[in-house]
Amino acid sequence: MSRSGTPRDLVGGAPEAEYTLTFDGREIPVLAGQTVAAALWAAGVLAWRTTREGGAPRGAFCGIGSCYDCLVTVDGRPGRRACLVPARPGAVVTTQEGTGRADLAV
């Protein structure tokens, strides 16, 4: 038996209306109900933060909000966990470097 397609194809689902958010100046398509991390992953973006020391790339690690590897800046607010933040139409998401703001450094 051969299986092909996506899980959505297998259950007969159809996505709701799409919209976009902007990530570092690039339009990213979003399906209703996706988090920022899910939308970025679906667009092929795997890293959206750099570490404070060394500038190493980071993206989603745990995917459930327990770690802080997926931090992004959303609409000017740094320190948002992309795996928990619902993607919103027209949101402006930018790569976060370190803590995002010097006054938040620990």
For domain 17-97, the CATH architecture is Roll (3.10)
Tens digits of per-residue pLDDT, 35-73?
Answer: 999 999 999 999 888 887 888 888 888 888 888 888 999
Whole-prediction pTM: 0.76
What pLDDT digit, counting tens, does each position of 67-92 carry? Answer: 888 899 999 999 999 999 999 999 99
Residue 5: Cβ within 10 Å count? 7
Domain segments of the chain as ranges:
17-97
**pLDDT bucket at 9, cuts 50 / 70 / 90:** confident
Kindly calculate the radius of gyration of the chain based on its CA atoms and give it in whole angstroms: 15
* 28 bridge partner residues: 21
- 102 CB burial (10 A radius; 0-12, 13-18, 19+): exposed
Report CA torsion sign: 101, 37, 69, 25: negative
- Could you read off the pLDDT of 96-105 as tens digits, one per residue? 876 655 454 4
